[in-house]
Chain A
Amino acid sequence: MAKTSASRRKSAGKPAAGRKKTTPALYKGTRAELLDFYRQMLLIRRFEEKAGQLYGLGLIGGFCHLYIGQEAVVVGFQSALREGDTVITGYRSHGHVLASGADPKAVMAELTGRGAGISRGKGGSMHMFNPAGGFYGGHGIVGAPVPLGTGLAFAAKYRNRDAVTLAYFGDGAANQGQVYEAFNMAVLWKLPVVYIVENNHYAMGTSIERATGQQELYRRGEGLGLYGRQVDGMNVLAVRAAAEEAIASVRAGKGPTLIEAMTYRYRGHSMSDPAKYRSREEVQEMRKKHDPIDTLRQDLLADGCPEDDIKAIDRKVKAIVEEAADFARNAPEPEPASLYEDVLAEA
Chain B
Amino acid sequence: MPITITMPALSPTMESGTLARWLKKEGDPVAPGDVIAEIETDKATMEVEAVDEGTLGRILVAEGTEEVPVGAPIALLLEDGEDRAVLDSAPAEAAPVAAAEQPAPVVAADPAIPAGTATRSQTVREALRDAMAEEMRRDPDVFVMGEEVAEYQGAYKVTQGLLAEFGPERVIDTPITEYGFAGLGVGAGFAGLRPVIEFMTFNFAMQAIDHIVNSAAKQRYMTGGQINVPVVFRGPNGAAARVAAQHSQNFAPWYAAVPGLKVIAPYTAADAKGLLKAAIRDPNPVVFLENEILYGASFEVPDVEDYVLPIGKARIARAGGDVTIVAYSIAVREALAAAERLAAEGIAAEVIDLRTLRPLDMETVIASVRKTNRCVVAEEGWPVCSIASEVSARLMEEAFDWLDAPVTRVTDADTLTPYAANLEKLWLVSPERIVEAAKAVCYAD
Bound Cα distance from A338 to B424, whole angstroms: 11
Determine which residue in B43, B71, B206, B419 has the highest number of CB atoms from chain A within 10 A of its CB, and name it.
B419
Given A205-B152, A277-B151, verify A63-B419 contact (CB < 8 Å): no
B420's partner among A122, A211, A275, A280 (CB-CB below 8 A) is: A122
A133 at the interface (CB under 8 A from B): no
B71 touches A58 (CB 8 A): yes
B223 at the interface (CB under 8 A from A): no
A62 touches B241 (CB 8 A): yes
Tell me whether chain B's interface is mostly helix, strand or loop, or mixed. Answer: loop
Write the nearest CB–CB distance from B54 to chain A, whole angstroms: 14
Bound Cα distance from A127 to B246, whole angstroms: 9
B180 at the interface (CB under 8 A from A): yes
Write the nearest CB–CB distance from A320 to chain B, whole angstroms: 18
A334 at the interface (CB under 8 A from B): yes
A53-91 vs B, CB cutoff 8 Å, 1 = contact: the mask equals: 101111001110000000000000000000000000000
Residues of A within 8 A of B33 (CB): 266, 287
Write the nearest CB–CB distance from A227 to chain B, whole angstroms: 23
Residues of B within 8 A of A63 (CB): 12, 243, 247
B66 at the interface (CB under 8 A from A): no
Write the nearest CB–CB distance from B171 to chain A, whole angstroms: 13
B416 at the interface (CB under 8 A from A): yes
Bound Cα distance from A139 to B175, whole angstroms: 19
B34-67 vs A, CB cutoff 8 Å, 1 = contact: the mask equals: 0100000001111100010000000000000000
Which of under 10, 10 to 19, 20 to 34, or 35 or more describes the interface residues of B? 35 or more
A177's partner among B147, B173, B179, B419 (CB-CB below 8 A) is: B179
Residues of B within 8 A of A203 (CB): 175-176
Write the nearest CB–CB distance from A206 to chain B, whole angstroms: 6
Bound Cα distance from A122 to B244, whole angstroms: 7
A279 at the interface (CB under 8 A from B): no
B177 touches A126 (CB 8 A): no
Residues of B within 8 A of A117 (CB): 420
A306 at the interface (CB under 8 A from B): no
Given A62-B242, A122-B423, A277-B152, verify A177-B32 contact (CB < 8 Å): no
A334 touches B175 (CB 8 A): no
Residues of B within 8 A of A62 (CB): 12, 240-244, 247, 419
Q: Which residue of A lies closest to B35 (CB)?
A: A280
In this complex, how many residues of chain A approach chain B with their Cβ under 8 Å: the count is 57
Tell me whether chain A's interface is mostly helix, strand or loop, or mixed. Answer: loop
Which A residues, 156 to 204, have Cβ-Cβ distances below 8 Å to chain B? 172-173, 175-178, 203-204
Bound Cα distance from A63 to B244, whole angstroms: 9
Residues of B within 8 A of A58 (CB): 9, 70-71
A141 at the interface (CB under 8 A from B): yes
Write the nearest CB–CB distance from A107 to chain B, whole angstroms: 13
A175 touches B6 (CB 8 A): no
B175 touches A204 (CB 8 A): no
A143 at the interface (CB under 8 A from B): yes
Q: Which residue of B lies closest to A142 (CB)?
A: B176
Given A126-B247, A143-B176, verify A336-B14 contact (CB < 8 Å): no
B207 touches A334 (CB 8 A): no
Given A141-B246, A177-B180, A274-B45, verify A339-B419 contact (CB < 8 Å): no
Bound Cα distance from A141 to B244, whole angstroms: 12
Q: Which residue of B lies closest to A122 (CB)?
A: B418
Residues of A within 8 A of B47 (CB): 274-275
Bound Cα distance from A273 to B148, whole angstroms: 12
Which B residues, 289 to 317, have Cβ-Cβ distances below 8 Å to chain A? none
Bound Cα distance from A211 to B177, whole angstroms: 10
B400-419 vs A, CB cutoff 8 Å, 1 = contact: the mask equals: 00000000000001011011
A52 at the interface (CB under 8 A from B): yes
Given A62-B12, A176-B207, A272-B11, verify A338-B423 contact (CB < 8 Å): yes
Residues of A within 8 A of B155 (CB): 204
A113 touches B242 (CB 8 A): yes
9 pairs across A/B with beta carbons < 8 Å?
A58-B71, A62-B242, A127-B246, A175-B175, A210-B173, A211-B173, A275-B47, A280-B35, A339-B423
Interface residues of chain B, those whose CB is within 8 Å of chain A, are: 6, 8-12, 14, 32-33, 35, 43-47, 51, 70-71, 147-148, 151-152, 155, 173-177, 179-180, 203-204, 206-207, 240-247, 413, 415-416, 418-423, 426-427
Known contacts A62-B419, A143-B176, A210-B173; 10 additional CB pairs below 8 A are A119-B419, A121-B420, A122-B420, A124-B242, A140-B246, A176-B179, A271-B11, A272-B10, A334-B420, A336-B423
